[in-house]
Amino acid sequence: MPKKLDSLYLIHFLRGHESKIASLGRGSTFSAITRGDLEDIEIPLPPLAEQKRIAAILDKADSIRRKLQQSLRLSDDFLRSVFLDMFGTDKSPKCERVPLGSFLEFMTSGGRGWSKYYAPSGARFIRSLDVQMNEIGEKDVAYVAAPNNAESKRTRVFEDDVLLTITGSLIGRVARAPKELAGAYISQHVAILRLGKGLDPEFLARFLSMDEGQRLVQKSQYGQTKPGLNFDQIRRFTVPLPSVTLQKRFVEIANRVNESSMKSRTLMSESENLFSTLQQRAFRGEL
């Protein structure tokens, strides 16, 4: 008599072996898996009661993971809603919209040839991959022993500079430079936007990272295979200009939401690792 297979147990097994199953696909233009391929897959098959127990554990871990993902989406939705309520949109504004160039005291991008100055330590070198949305990444950090010349002085980062990626697939990522990054240098794919009074750099970075700001980037960029932004296009960005008080109020709200999101991301990473570990142990008979 054939053993019974719990459907939820089967679903979790297939999800945990997606890459292996996908590798069975054949075809040059359209990869497909045949019925025979599926029938040949060996599935650990403990008694039905044990299958149900394993499936229930994995289901609970998966539910926790999904709720944390939803929490992050809700945080983004909340901040977007707050922004719209305070400042409106470009088509239905609640405050003046002005060209970004009106507030730019200085703008530049990095030059070529920095690779020869790479060093184990020294000044931080910020590449396009380092610029995340509203933060500078700390993974695989690069350093340079910068020369004492006009080029390095021109591309040196000041506290509160807004760093914007201007070429390639990561175009439009933006973050304010914190105090710790003062003295860093930028690659040719990153622009420094240095503001005068009246426009808070954190507020600008937050705006550019949101839907309306990203639409400006997409609408302005040139090129298809390797998109880019030039300085004139950036100067023409139309940005909201509420009072400095309102700008700072929004930044405070955004920072609180960001703190909550960071906690959720940490928990989500832990839950992803836990879920992956449980999947592996479950189908090795170790759960």
pLDDT in tens, 56-107: 999 888 888 888 888 888 888 899 999 999 999 988 999 999 999 999 999 9
Phi/psi at 127 (5° precision)? -100, 170
Quote the percentage of the chain above a pLDDT of 70. Answer: 91
Q: Do 162 and 133 contact (CB within 8 A), yes or no? A: no
Q: What's residue 18's pLDDT?
A: 73
67 occurs within a structural domain: no
Q: What's residue 1's pLDDT?
A: 40
Average pLDDT, integer, range 213-218: 94
The residue range of the domain holding 185 is 99-233
Average pLDDT, integer, range 212-219: 94
Q: Is residue 2 predicted with pLDDT exceeding 60?
A: no
115 occurs within a structural domain: yes
Count of structural domains within the chain: 1
Average pLDDT, integer, range 226-240: 94
93 occurs within a structural domain: no
Provide the CATH number for the domain around residue 127. Answer: 3.90.220.20
Q: What's residue 153's pLDDT?
A: 94
- Among the listed residues 164, 225, 216, 172, the one whose alpha carbon sits nearest the alpha carbon of residue 190: 164
277 occurs within a structural domain: no
Of residues 109 and 40, more confidently modeled: 109
pLDDT digits (tens, 9 = 90+) for 176-194: 999 999 999 999 999 999 9
Report the alpha-carbon distance of residue 199 to residue 183 in Å, rounded.
Answer: 22
244 occurs within a structural domain: no
Helix orientation angle between 201-209 and 211-220, rounded to the nearest 10 degrees: 70
Report the alpha-carbon distance of residue 48 to residue 275 in Å, rounded.
Answer: 22
Q: What's residue 285's pLDDT?
A: 77
34 occurs within a structural domain: no
Of residues 242 and 272, more confidently modeled: 242
pLDDT digits (tens, 9 = 90+) for 11-56: 888 887 776 666 666 655 556 666 666 667 778 888 888 889 988 9
Report the alpha-carbon distance of residue 254 to residue 120 in Å, rounded.
Answer: 35
Mean pLDDT of the chain: 89
- Among the listed residues 229, 230, 203, 214, the one whose alpha carbon sits nearest the alpha carbon of residue 173: 214
Residues 6+ apart with CB under 8 A from 278: 57, 58, 61, 287
State both tokens at 265: 């991301």
81 occurs within a structural domain: no
Report the alpha-carbon distance of residue 114 to residue 134 in Å, rounded.
Answer: 25
200 occurs within a structural domain: yes
DSSP 40-109: H-------HHHHHHHHHHHHHHHHHHHHHHHHHHHHHHHHHHHHHHHHB-SSSBSS-EEEGGGGEEEEEE
pLDDT digits (tens, 9 = 90+) for 191-210: 999 999 999 999 999 999 99
Of residues 37 and 122, more confidently modeled: 122
